Amino acid sequence: MRYAIVGVGGRHAMFRKAITETHAEGNDLVALCDVNDSRLALSAGKVPKRGNGVATYDASDFDRMIAEQEPDTVIVTTPDHLHHEYIVAALKAGRNVMTEKPMTVDLDKLRAILDAQRESGKTVTVTFNYRYTPARTQLKDLLLSGAIGEITAVDFRWYLDRVHGADYFRRWHRDKEKSGGLLVHKSTHHFDLMNWWVASTPKTVSAMGKRVFYTPEMAEALGLGGHGERCHTCPVFDRCEYRLDLANDPALRELYLEAEDDDGYLRDKCVFSGDISIEDTMQVQVRYANDVFLNYTLCAYSPWEGLEIKFHGTKGELTHRHVEVHGVFGGVRDKSAEENMTTVLHLHGRRPEPLEVWAGEGDHGGADPVMLGYLFEPGSMAPDKYSRASTHKEGAWSILTGIAANTSIATGQTVDVDRMLAEAGIVLER
């Protein structure tokens, strides 16, 4: 298969390595495309030499790239608000698409993608790596087996610490127009897991959201009032726990700092800036089409990082807890402990039963290597009894909870998802 990648920033490297190194057999990376020449050259230089090497194209030459290089599949790893441009262009040119999450950030862009997919008949794969984390697949396995009977309600909480959480407040993510806010950008993973775990889709959504930590007022309160626009030249750099040190991180330095002159993209803007438009504290309530209820919290400044989820069912409860980071000390994350995932089945009339948690090696709790196997070497993988592969349809449903939640935050009203879709002229099967 021939692949082209558009958007060669931090995330694309996972796909590039899979195609050119770990799953190179039968796969060919034919082109890279970006607006930034330095990042293009950096990425092309990391591709192991084979044949004619990889061609690079400026984003304005995307159509020429398709015509000249004839990729079977275009992989989209640009900032979120640009996904639809390349997804639609690739589909119209008769190519399949693999896109990073979130598939897109608002209803107009979603409609454009769904129309182009329908008209072209080509495939859109959304790379939801979280489904492939062995511990999360185990939850699906237990729920599928009816371990807790009929699922009735779910409590789901996701906590981002002050290193990872802060990172969403530095660059394009912090602009709601560009990322959809964390309820789209980040929670697309969580709402996709929910849709998959409970085998349903959101029907009504109500939400609250606010920004209370990443604010100019908090900078003052932390004694960081004299901060600059960015960390690299910031007057309070030495005493700020939230700084990103681009100059002293070799990977970030070459990818962002040394590429700045091309396009002015600053990777390390101050997390306490006044022009941030996303929330850092969010709660959402969802009623699913199959009448499962969800209570969801996302906090982006927690003292630890991880998740807690409890599925309530007619026979009992299934509880999963994953501590990814135990705490942040002086800006350094402690990820040390071995036993940091627990899954407990508590059935009516029995004591809670701790289960052996399914484990795996690699990024995102062992998810990424499994997903890459299915994406790039499907013949070597067992048939997927958990149906983890995701199309435009799952991509769409995963963002609709967050899009509806954003509307609910803005209006204070509960959003009926069917009505929201009808008003936007979107036809989507449940």
Interface pick for ligand NAD out of 29, 65, 74, 82 (rule CB under 6 A): 82
Question: What mask, x for binding ligand NAD by CB under 6 A, covers residues 39 to 78?
Answer: x-------------------x-----------------xx
Told to check if 98 binds ligand NAD by CB under 6 A, we report no
Told to check if 187 binds ligand NAD by CB under 6 A, we report no
Binding to ligand NAD in span 236-295, by CB under 6 A = none
Q: Which is nearer to ligand NAD, 81 or 122 (CB)?
A: 81
# binding residues, ligand NAD (CB under 6 A): 21
Mapped to the 3 state alphabet, what secondary structure does the chain carry? CEEEEECCCCCHHHHHHHHHHHCCCCCEEEEEEECCHHHHHHHHHCCCCCCCCCEEEEHHHHHHHHHHHCCCEEEECCCHHHHHHHHHHHHHCCCEEEECCCCCCCHHHHHHHHHHHHHHCCCEEECCHHHHCHHHHHHHHHHHCCCCCCEEEEEEEEEEECCHHHHCCCCHHHCHHHHCCHHHHCHHHHHHHHHHHCCCCEEEEEEEEECCCCCHHHHHHCCCCCCCCECCCCCCHHHCCCCCCCCCCHHHHHHCHHHHHHHCCCCCECCCCCCCCCCCEEEEEEEECCCCEEEEEEEEEECCEEEEEEEEECCEEEEEEEEEECEEECCEEECCCCCCEEEEEEECCCCCEEECCCCCCCHHHHHHHHHHHHHHCHHHCCCCCCCCCCEHHHHHHHHHHHHHHHHHHHHCCCEEHHHHHHHCCCCCCC
Interface pick for ligand NAD out of 3, 5, 9, 113 (rule CB under 6 A): 9
Q: Which among 32-40, 104-112, 314-322, 377-385 is the span making contact with ligand NAD, rule CB under 6 A?
A: 32-40
* Least Cβ distance, residue 14 to ligand NAD (angstroms): 8
Interface pick for ligand NAD out of 20, 31, 57, 100 (rule CB under 6 A): 100
Told to check if 133 binds ligand NAD by CB under 6 A, we report no
Interface pick for ligand NAD out of 24, 35, 47, 347 (rule CB under 6 A): 35
* Least Cβ distance, residue 84 to ligand NAD (angstroms): 11
Interface pick for ligand NAD out of 71, 79, 165, 402 (rule CB under 6 A): 79
Q: Which is nearer to ligand NAD, 95 or 287 (CB)?
A: 95
Enumerate binding residues for ligand NAD (CB under 6 A). Answer: 6-11, 34-36, 39, 59, 77-80, 82, 100-101, 129, 185, 364
